[in-house]
Amino acid sequence: AQTVTQSQPEMSVQEAETVTLSCTYDTSESDYYLFWYKQPPSRQMILVIRQEAYKQQNATENRFSVNFQKAAKSFSLKISDSQLGDAAMYFCAYRSANIGQLTFGSGTQLTVLP
């Protein structure tokens, strides 16, 4: 079974600064997808960014980018120019190419300091 590990339960960053959230996963598969979701106090999970394992190029969405290291099974999220609205719980998730559901990590609570 796949597992996803987020070793940072809490992180903080100054507004306008850059922060990196860590995620590692364990799998024997070669074809899969990785995701970062954000969960604000409203509870709704919002997709931030996704990465296909077969793509070597790191995904980027505006201020959000990932550092995908397939051999190391690492998938970190970098948030540049942090904004107050970025404060939320961030979850890393794994999805096999053959299975529908996502496997989530335990989350990192990000605080943005004004």
Partner 1 sequence: GAGVSQSPSNKVTEKGKDVELRCDPISGHTALYWYRQSLGQGLEFLIYFQGNSAPDKSGLPSDRFSAERTGGSVSTLTIQRTQQEDSAVYLCASSWDGLNSNSPLHFGNGTRLTVT
Residues that bind partner 1 (CB under 8 A): 32-33, 35, 37, 42-47, 50, 52, 91, 95-107
Q: In the bound complex, what is the minimum distance in angstroms from residue 71's beta carbon to partner 1?
A: 21
Of 13 and 91, which has the nearer Cβ to partner 1?
91
Supply the minimum distance, in Å, between the C-beta of residue 31 and partner 1. 8
Phi and psi, residue 86, nearest 5°: -80, -10
Q: Which is nearer to partner 1, 59 or 112 (CB)?
A: 59
Q: How far is the CB of 1 from partner 1 (least distance, A)?
A: 10
CA distance 54 to 23: 18
H/E element, 112: strand 108-113
Two tokens, residue 91: 């979850």
Task: Enumerate the β-bridge partners of residue 83.
Answer: none
